[in-house]
Amino acid sequence: MRSGPPFVALLSFAPACAPGVDGVWRVRYATQDGSSCETSFEHNLPGAVESTGDLGSGWEEDYEGPGLPSAFYVLITTGDDGSTRLVPPDEGVIYEGLDEGGGAWTFTSTYVRDNVVTRDHPSGYAFTSTSHYARDSTYEIAFDGDLGEGDSTLRDASDVEASEPDTWDESVGMEEGALPTSGLVWEDSGDPVFNTRGGEECADAGCNLSRVNDCTTLGRLSMLRIGGGEDDLALLLLQASEEEDSVGQAKEPVAAPNAGRAGLGG
């Protein structure tokens, strides 16, 4: 059984009883129409264009409609200071709750990460990447006793700027560079773009690329309270883990989908 740090930290935070919306909730979640994802590039690779989704040999793939539902558990708990939080135990994030009145609640979470990556070789090869990632999650839920229904909005935004030489010495030991060209294809052939050791793919001696992603995922969820506190959640997760071990794979997800998947993300 895995437990994210915020869930562990809240074990002493949760009350023994389960008033209001507190307790262990079983959640069923499915993505909805209206989700979108946009990617844009700036680069100095002549002939490189954004992929249109063509899978080759004339095939194209597209999908519209709600996603398949997934199921998982969350803990909602109110502390002595009156603050209410929603905790998916495997995510490593906490959603702060706001009581809107009349059984309506809004839970929000923001996660930000900045990275700088550099790779240098004595022959003169140097790769640099600077990235910023932000995830904003909002869940609007209407509770009625042990039931809840609501909507979710998940926004993932990232930007990356990277550079490396157009060519480099064989002693570096790699034929393709680290430039993040995923999503680009050569216009004349439709093949994926790579910066290769001996090729001259870039307009200058140095290759430069920036990529911006902005994705919004809309979801619908229904909830059922099935326990009173963290002990019940721990037991449920343990039972699910044992079932997973016995059959070789989980019968259904037991924690909210994480980064890269739609759902209660961190």
Kindly report, residue by residue over 6-21, the tens digit of the pLDDT.
433 333 333 334 458 9
Kindly report, residue by residue over 169-178, the tens digit of the pLDDT.
999 999 999 9
**Percent of the chain topping pLDDT 90:** 61
How far apart are the two ends of the chain, measured CA to CA in Å? 19
Q: 124 with 38: CB under 8 angstroms?
A: no
- Which pLDDT belongs to residue 120? 96
Residue with token string 């490396």: 164
- Which pLDDT belongs to residue 27? 93
pLDDT category, 60, cuts 50, 70, 90? very low
Residue 253 pairs in a beta bridge with none
Tokens of 247: 């059959």
- Which pLDDT belongs to residue 241? 61
For residue 203, pLDDT beyond 60 = yes
- Which pLDDT belongs to residue 12? 36
Continuous segment of H or E residues that includes residue 244: helix 230-247
pLDDT category, 225, cuts 50, 70, 90? very high
CA angle at 252 for the pair 246 and 258, rounded to the nearest 5°: 115
Continuous segment of H or E residues that includes residue 54: strand 54-56
Instruction: Give the C-alpha separation, 86 to 14, whole Å.
Output: 11
Tokens of 51: 């992929």
What pTM was computed for the model?
A: 0.70
pLDDT category, 22, cuts 50, 70, 90? very high
* Least confident among 59-68, 115-124, 180-189: 59-68
Q: Which of 233, 231, 228 is nearest to 256 (CA)?
A: 233
